[in-house]
Amino acid sequence: MLGGDVVAVWDVDLSDGVYRIEFAHGTTTGKRIVYVNGKEVIRKDWMFKLVGRETFMVGRCQTKASINIEAVGGFAYEYSLNVDGKSLQKFVDDRAKSTNTWVVNVDGQDFRIVLEKDTMDVWCNGQKMDATGEFVDDGTETHFTIGEHDCCIKVGTGTGTGKKKKNGIVHCLLLDGQKIPASTQ
């Protein structure tokens, strides 16, 4: 059970999983505690300075995060989270452009698959997958397996029917040849 002084909670979506960051701030003692997925990663008791910043690492890739503590009048405080040097909103917006995420149930188990578009790395439930990429006539295919199931992420330009064409690059996950819709995560 986390302490009663938790004043802010954020969920951060990284390639290796979704991390819950909780911040406890004792506004009379200056105590600061940072929890990542319920595990205490920073504890500072009896801080005289009630404002400032706490920096820590999140996830297997050790992504830098920091919590900013600012006074907003009297004994009121505002807390913000920066991830990878960006505001949380900017980080989320950038990740939406640089990754694709699919959530699929295979053999009764949920799998969260993330494609990092810049490196073409594939992550599944927090583990970087051993994936093989190849060029094909209409783009690329990245192959990997989940248990006994064949997976393929196809990347190419989308085309509509007739002479109409969609703009941009399309990323599609196939599980045993069946198209899986992208997640909203």
pLDDT at residue number 157: 82
Torsions phi, psi for 30 (to 5 deg) = 80, 0
Angle at 177 between CA 174 and CA 180, to 5 degrees: 35
Break the chain into its structural domains and give their ranges. Answer: 6-84, 98-180
Number of neighbours of residue 65 by Cβ within 10 angstroms: 26
Per-residue pLDDT, averaged over 131-155, amounts to 95
Q: How confident is the model at residue 181 (pLDDT cuts 50, 70, 90)?
A: confident
Both tokens assigned to 75: 């004994």
> 98-180 domain in CATH 1.10.10.10?
no
Residue 13: predicted pLDDT: 95
The highest-level CATH class for domain 6-84 is mainly beta
Read off the pLDDT of residues 56-74 as tens digits, 9 standing for 90 and up: 999 999 999 999 999 998 7
| Nearest residue to 15 (alpha-carbon basis) of 70, 55, 73, 59 | 59
Domains 6-84 and 98-180 share a fold: yes
Do 142 and 132 form a contact (C-beta atoms < 8 A)?
A: yes
pLDDT of amino acid 159: 47
Q: Is the pLDDT of residue 52 over 60?
A: yes
Mean pLDDT over 9-34 rounds to 93
pLDDT bin (cut points 50, 70, 90) of residue 109 is very high
Residue 183 phi/psi, 5-degree rounding, is -85, 160
Average pLDDT over residues 128-137: 95
Q: What is the mean pLDDT of the chain?
A: 90
Q: What Rg, from alpha-carbon coordinates, does the chain have?
A: 21
